[in-house]
Structure 1
Amino acid sequence: MADARPVSFLQRRTHRERRAPRPPSARAGKSRVIMAMGMFALVYLAIGGRLVLLGMSEPTEAAHYISAKESVAASRPDLVDRNGQILATDIKTASLYAEPRKILDVDEAMEGIASVLPELNNDTVRRRLASKAGFVWLKRELTPRQRVALHDLGIPGLGFLEENSRFYPGGPTASHIVGSVNIDNQGISGMELAVDRSGLSDLQALGFARDRPMEPVALSIDLRAQHVVRDELSKALERYHAIAGVGIVLDVDTGEVIAMSSLPDFDPNDRSQALDSNRFNRASGGVFEMGSVFKGFTVAMALDSGKVTMDDSFDATRPLRVGRRTINDFYGKRRILSVAETFIYSSNIGTAKMMLAAGVETQKAFMKRLGLTSRLKTELPEVATPLLPPKWNELAAITISFGHGISVTPLQTAVATAALVNGGRLIPATFKPRSREEAKALETRVIDERTSAIMRYLFRLNVMSGSGRRAKVPGYVVGGKTGTAEKIENGRYVSNKRRNSFLSAFPMDKPRYVVLVVLDEPKPEREGIGATAGRNTAPVTSAIIRRIAPMLGVLPKFGDESETISIAY
């Protein structure tokens, strides 16, 4: 039998404590922990359930306010001219909104609002204020005076949101180039729309263009020259009672548009004007038969083909019969004409025969090479596509040779002419600054340098002794070509409605700029004289060159004004 060992007092006490139940205080502590965990779980469940309900319910007033604030806060970069002058910028303005649920008396609110904004005194606004909506717009872009007056009314439920609004310091001066924005500060035309398409709209959508400064976007135009072109064009419309006009100044070495005006234009600060169909951009967004200025392209084509030389001559003694059509001259010399005489006397007969000597296919290929048969590629969205003859046969080619039967934009015409005088290099037009090095990487040779030299000579000769004599500018070697195109109404040419143009370049010994002026339906300046291009668009061109040449750094050279350009042919 095993011996029983004595158990010590300490061991017995430890055994008893192990078997004894826990005191009440320990049990209470554990219960509190479990209860706290349960409460936290219930709180989180409640929050989760509330979030689900909020997601399924209608947006609250705060949500409406935040949504509205986000939609109007997008900023835009300033647009500046080539010299840093501001063309478009953002300014802060206030817009009026209402929270109908907080409006105590709709009639009182309507009376107060109408006292400041009478145009809002209508049933539509009353229905909005009487609704249960959380947020409604009442009036965007308030004036400071309107905001103060509305604020002083102290009407509960009315508030103001600060947003960006576009401001154009020059008003209509460069409206068709700069363009405009809608009430949400989004570009809808001109370079404003071009900037959006180049990435600004994506930045705005991602929230990277809200209330932060942005680098200005420089344009190629010179605001000083732009003002001159628009000013002279406005005077011409009044002097010659024309219904519309276009003026373009283009850098022949870079393709930069230095100035471009189309009248009637609009003030981009007044959006309602932009909706007027008569105020569209005729310079790049309209296509027209350009008339005799196209004869410059025909002469260049014929000479560059090698099938016509400056020693050739063409019989213009009698009209040219082609099928049922008779080609005649406006002021016919009724004799044999040299190439130079065909150009400066603007002979339709001689020009048509020159084209026939080169060939229809040669003409078609040449027009394509000059970019006159396809849509002009440039940053401006408002660019029209040329209208070509349905069948480019011999008759169509003859009429095209003197500017009928094909409709192009004035800007296209200026770009193609730059290639005739700059040595034969076709350079795409641009509304952004471009260096000569950048232009060289884009240029395409379309005619030989020798052909270009002959064209400079002919353009200058036309101003010295042809139809462009009124385009002379003291101190400057100006060259150019007049153009008159009868307008078409109901499918027929109308003899008493014309579109006149003068296409020029200066200084002709080393051209830097092309200047094109177009007047739609000009009338005689006074009774008893004609309304030909030589009497209206030529002097307008002279006035423009006289004013912009010093601005653009072209120095005058005073000497023998009868001199022409020396060439060898």
Structure 2
Amino acid sequence: MIKVLRTLGSVLAQPITTQGDVAAQTRQRLGWVMLAVVALFAVVQGRLIFLGTEENRTNLVGYTADIALAAARPEIVDRNGETLALDIPVKSLFAEPRLIENPDETYESLITVLPDLDFDTTMKRLKSGAGFVWLQREITPVQQQEILALGLPGVGFRQENKRYYPAGPSASHILGHTNIDNQGIAGMEKHLDDNGLRALHNSGFAVNAALEKVELSIDLRVQHYMRAALTEAIEKYRAIAAAGVVLDVHTGEIVAMSSLPDYDPNNPVDALKKDRLNRMSAGVFEMGSTFKAFTTAMALDSGKVSMSSRFDARKPLRFGRFTINDFHGKKRVLSVPEVFIYSSNIGTAKMADVVGIDGHREFIKRIGLLDRMTGLELPEIARPTEPKRWGKLSSVTISFGHGMSTTPLQTAVAAAAMVNGGKLIPPTLMRRSVQDANKIAKQVIKPKTSDEMRYLMRLNVLDGSGRRAEVPGFLVGGKTGTADKVVNGRYSRNSRFNAFLSTFPVTNPRYVVLVIIDEPKPEKGQVYATAGMNAAPTVGKIIARAAPLLGVKPDFDVRDTAQLSSYRR
């Protein structure tokens, strides 16, 4: 560049001799001026590129911090706008080892503020000579101020985003959680990453201003009441676990879903413990007598059985070394409503036999109980299990809820189809209108069958095993299920899996509520620990608290026409 300027100076200093020379020298001088200007800009541009490259090479943290700041997550809110998850800014401690002359002294200073800093790991990083290393993620403001006061060269702070869940564990299995890099690794958080958010992060477009709120279908108030009722049930019945769901029967929206024990997503140290799985969607269970609702609906829908049909339940059913009996058998011929409210294994098995083995399996598959749920936003979804071969005995046991396992959430979804007019609607944790739900709904039973099932479920609460679920004014209907658990390959009489499957109000159902209680013990002063004794009253408490919040008004003037007398022998 200096040489060019000198040449330019000598050219400009040359004298002009003739008129012809004037034009030639003028053109020459202009050319040199242009060359000098171009050269000057080239030098400046090259210097800027060099400085930019050098800065990125020796101060990589600037770029890293920008990415960390950009890797934001959208706020998650419930259906009423209540915040469920949001980002909060935090400071993290980093070092530039190339600028640190005395790593030992730096470490000794840092541990006065951060005594948990591992010596080997920290010293290895400080002596690495790298341009950037993390020393401690997510430090407190007090720690930041104390480290600043140390005046350590080559040590600095960068802002990151940390996920915060204001409701704590209330909806942990729904929301999931993030890792130290604010990446979703469970629940809705992982769903968001898997469905576009990760791509936005990678492209650098995921900044706070660009991310819209994610509105879920759940109602945080109902979620809170459900969790409280399940917590009370575990304590009262000394159970090892409990779970529940409130499902909108017309949209498939999950209004509340909880599984206990749960964990705090703000500190998910317990998230991977075996007993912390989401039992509603990630666990498969034999659902016991709740399956009798599906068997009854199947028989009625087939046209081969009517409400006035009768089945002989006087004697047990025997299949080789297996005997099928009733828990509290009436030892007589029963009508269909009686089979339902007395929860007769014998009568239910005979209803399934009328439909046949192939028809039985086809119906169970039709209502979605044999396939893994698709479309639900949660990644934690289990696959149902069934016998490799559906024989006579399999059909008999499955008719009353043994011999195959499915998720409780699928059970609730299938139950919604039994009471909403016969439409099977996939569940969702996102907002969905009735119109949109109808577009994806599948008619699985006749509307008439659905009417009959509502009648039977109401009858069971009035006169059957679901009495303790009754909530005055809300017309609850339901079906209990008490299943012996398999322990060491055999059914145990001492370990039960209880469930109560309900809907309200039965005159025009709006919601299905399902509660499961794992290994409950008899309440103090009681002998039995059946579902009617624990799962049913738990559902009643949830409905009593949740119904007013969901806009369901009590009606004490409705004439309850459900009665058994016309179907008795």
Mark yes or no: TM-score above 0.5. yes
Superimposed CA distance per residue, residues 459-508 of structure 1 (whole angstroms, 9 cap, x where no aligned partner): 01111111111111111201111101111123222221111000000011
Do residues 345 (structure 1) and 342 (structure 2) align?
yes
Q: Distance in 2 between matches of 1:344 and 1:149?
A: 69
What amino acid is the match of 2:449?
Answer: T
Partner in structure 1 of residue 4 of structure 2 = none
- Number of the residue aligned with 1:271: 268
Q: Of 306, 321, 327, which residue of structure 2 is paired with 1:330?
A: 327
- What does residue 167 of structure 1 align with? 164
**2:85 aligned counterpart, secondary structure:** strand
Task: Decide which of 247, 255, 258 is 1:258's aligned counterpart.
Answer: 255
Aligned to 1:409: 407
- The residue aligned with 1:150 is 147
1:396 aligns with 2:394: yes
Query: What is the percentage of aligned positions where both structures have the same residue?
Result: 54
**Tell me, what secondary structure is at the counterpart of 1:548?**
helix
Once residues 476 and 537 of structure 1 are traced to their aligned partners in structure 2, the CA distance between those partners, rounded to angstroms, is 18
Q: Distance in 2 between matches of 1:393 and 1:110?
A: 71
Q: 1:356 to 1:105 in 2, by over 3 A?
A: same
Instruction: Give 1:551's aligned residue.
Output: 549
Report the alpha carbon displacement of residue 130 of structure 1 after superposing the two structures with TM.
2.4
2:241 to 234, 241, 244: 244
For structure 1, which segment, 485-494 or 255-264, has the greater mean C-alpha deviation from structure 2 after superposition? 485-494
Partner of 2:503: 505
Structure 1 residue 370: deviation in Å? Answer: 0.4
Deviation at 1:125, TM superposition (A): 1.0
C-alpha separation between the residues in 2 aligned to 1:200 and 1:253?
A: 30
Aligned to 1:381: 379
> Whole-Å Cα distance in 1 between the matches of residues 114 and 387 of structure 2?
55
> For the residues of structure 1 that align with 2:19 and 2:145, how far apart are their CA atoms?
84
Contact 1:454 1:567 (8 Å CA) reproduced = no
Q: Is the 8 A contact 1:344 1:461 kept in 2?
A: yes
Residues 181 and 30 of structure 1: CA distance in aligned 2, closer, same or farther (over 3 Å): same
Partner deviation per Cα, 1:394-428 (whole Å, 9 max, x = no partner)? 11111110111111111100000001011111111
1:225 counterpart residue number = 222
- Tell me the distance in 2 between the aligned counterparts of 1:215 and 1:34: 57
8 A Cα contact 1:78 1:217, kept in partner = yes
Q: What SS is found at the alignment partner of 2:337? A: helix
Determine if the alignment matches structure 1 residue 368 to structure 2 residue 365. Answer: yes
| Higher mean C-alpha deviation, range 256-265 or range 371-380 | 371-380
1:6 alignment counterpart: none
Structure 1 residue 59: deviation in Å? 6.6
Partners of 2:522 and 2:310 lie apart in 1 by: 34
1:514 and 2:520 aligned = no
Matches for 1:29-428 after TM superposition, within 5 Å: 60-377=57-374, 378-428=376-426
Q: Distance in 2 between matches of 1:416 and 1:507?
A: 17
TM-score (norm 1): 0.90
CA distance in 2, matches of 1:420, 1:568: 23
Contact 2:68 2:161 in 1 (8 A): no
Counterpart contact for 1:294–1:401, Cα < 8 Å: yes
**Preserved contact between residue 453 and residue 567 of structure 1 (Cα < 8 Å):** no
Query: Quick check: 105-114 or 90-99, which moved more?
Result: 105-114
- Unpaired runs of at least 5, structure 1: 1-16
Q: Deviations over 1:147-203 (max 9, x none)?
A: 222222222221100111111110111111111112222211111122222222222
- TM-score computed with the length of structure 2 as normaliser: 0.90
Separation of aligned partners in 2, 1:195 and 1:567: 54
* Structure 1 residue 48: Cα displacement: 7.1
Deviation at 1:290, TM superposition (A): 0.5
In structure 2, relative to structure 1, the CA distance for the partners of 1:458 and 1:121 (3 Å cut) is: same
**Stretch moving more, 315-324 or 556-565:** 556-565
- The change in CA–CA distance for 1:139 and 1:53 in structure 2 (over 3 A counts) is closer
Question: Partners in 1 of 2:130 and 2:118 — Cα distance?
Answer: 19
Shift of 1:126: 1.8
Matched, 1:540 2:558: no
Does the 8 Å contact 1:246/1:260 carry over to 2? yes
Pick aligned residue for 2:455 from 454, 457, 461 = 457
CA separation in 2, counterparts of 1:142 and 1:269? 15
In structure 1, the partner of 2:9 is none
- Residue ranges of structure 2 left out of the alignment (5+ in a row): 1-16
CA–CA distance in structure 2, aligned partners of residues 544 and 528 of structure 1: 22
Q: Secondary structure at the match of 2:483?
A: strand
- Write the distance in 2 (CA, Å) between the matches of 1:245 and 1:113: 46
2:6 aligned residue: none
Distance 1:18 1:111 in 2: 80
Write the distance in 1 (CA, Å) between the matches of 2:19 and 2:402: 118
Separation of aligned partners in 2, 1:153 and 1:365: 73
- 1:282 is paired with a residue of what secondary structure? coil
**Following TM superposition, where does structure 1 have runs of at least 4 consecutive aligned residues deviating by more than 3 angstroms?**
17-20, 29-55, 559-563, 565-569
Residue 527 of structure 1 deviates from its aligned partner by 5.0
Offset of 1:112 from its aligned partner?
2.6
Larger radius of gyration: 1
- Give the letter for the 1:60 counterpart: R
Matched residues, number: 549
Cα deviation, 1:227-268, whole Å, max 9, x if unaligned, reads 010110011111111111111000011111000001111111
CA RMSD of aligned residues (A): 2.9
Give the whole-Å Cα distance in 2 for the aligned partners of 1:565 and 1:553: 28
Q: Which residue of 1 aligns with 2:13?
A: none
